[in-house]
């Protein structure tokens, strides 16, 4: 392997882009306060509606206040970490704008260069979530160090699922610009937003669950919420294997779509 294209090369490339995006969030006061106010408002709304839903629906659905908080914390954790690699990277407008060319002539793999390029930085959101949600998790749950580690491992898997699901859906922009945008921006984001307030476990006995299998937040409710509290997880290994299979299939199709798209893009400029 060419030394400059190894893991260190891509890690340094990502690190520099991450540092630039972080400076944009922290040094520009408007960006900083906008992110801070937005996340504080979002967390306040989540806590408020979690309390309301747990009081009115908790007994019927066997979901309590802390279950919604765990869902929100790990859901945001997965969303923010995965978003580091896909926020503001819709192919639709990149192709229209023409700035995709900048990734074609850099050393290394074109797809990795694109994925690891500078995007929106969610560190401020993450810090706010940790400061506010963590006391709830410590006080209101009986989690153990082992259950926390298990949840982090599942979260890493779901982070990759979120990343590859976005790029899989968005890669259809290489075939039809608007179709990829609809799939990645409208459907993926909006359905996952629904699953924050209507947890995936609510749909486990309906046919809707098959639609939600490619939605990472679905599995936060069905795996992480009970696992964090040392409760039994229904069909745990089936869900884990299903996530891995989806990731493999989406990765293969995404690479195929990108190879087709790049060949067409370079041919027609």
Q: Contact, 171 vs 92, CB < 8 A?
A: no
Handedness of CA 138, 152, 156, 249 (dihedral sign): negative
The mean per-residue pLDDT over the stretch 32-56 comes to 86
> Whose CA is closest to 161, among 74, 221, 248, 235?
248
Asked whether the beta carbons of 16 and 116 are under 8 A apart, the reply is no
* C-alpha to C-alpha distance for 92 and 176, rounded to whole angstroms: 9
Handedness of CA 259, 262, 267, 268 (dihedral sign): positive
The pTM assigned to this predicted structure is 0.88
Mean of pLDDT values over 83-110: 82
Name the nearest CA neighbour of 228 among 98, 120, 138. 138
Helix (H) / strand (E) containing 173: none
* pLDDT 10s digits, 125-159: 999 999 999 999 999 998 999 999 999 999 999 99
Q: For residues 265 and 269, give the distance between their C-alpha atoms in angstroms, rounded to a whole number.
A: 6
Neighbours of 1 (CB within 10 A): 7
How large is the C-alpha radius of gyration of the chain?
20
- Tell me what the pLDDT averaged over the chain comes to: 86
Is pLDDT at 19 greater than 60 in this prediction? Answer: yes
For the chain, the domains span 3-268
């Amino acid at each position: 392997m060419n030394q400059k294209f190894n893991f260190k090369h891509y890690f340094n490339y990502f690190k520099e882009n991450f540092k630039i995006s972080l400076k944009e969030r922290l040094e520009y006061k408007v960006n900083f306060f906008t992110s801070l106010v937005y996340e504080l408002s979002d967390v306040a709304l989540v806590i408020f509606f979690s309390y309301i839903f747990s009081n009115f629906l908790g007994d019927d659905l066997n979901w309590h206040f802390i279950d919604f908080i765990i869902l929100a914390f790990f859901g945001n954790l997965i969303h923010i970490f995965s978003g580091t690699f896909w926020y503001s990277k819709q192919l639709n407008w990149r192709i229209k704008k023409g700035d995709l060319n900048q990734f074609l002539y850099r050393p290394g793999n074109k797809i990795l260069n694109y994925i690891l390029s500078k995007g929106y930085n969610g560190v401020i959101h993450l810090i706010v979530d940790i400061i506010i949600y963590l006391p709830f998790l410590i006080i209101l749950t009986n989690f153990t160090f082992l259950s926390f580690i298990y949840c982090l491992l599942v979260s890493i898997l779901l982070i990759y699922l979120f990343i590859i699901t976005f790029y899989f859906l968005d890669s259809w922009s290489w075939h039809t610009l608007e179709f990829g945008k609809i799939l990645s921006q409208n459907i993926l984001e909006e359905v996952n937003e629904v699953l924050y307030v209507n947890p995936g476990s609510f749909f486990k006995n309906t046919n809707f669950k098959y639609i939600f299998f490619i939605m990472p937040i679905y599995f936060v409710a069905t795996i992480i919420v009970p696992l964090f509290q040392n409760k039994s997880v229904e069909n745990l290994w089936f869900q884990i294997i299903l996530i891995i299979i989806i990731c493999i299939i989406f990765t293969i199709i995404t690479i195929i779509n990108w190879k087709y798209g790049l060949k067409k893009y370079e041919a027609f400029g």
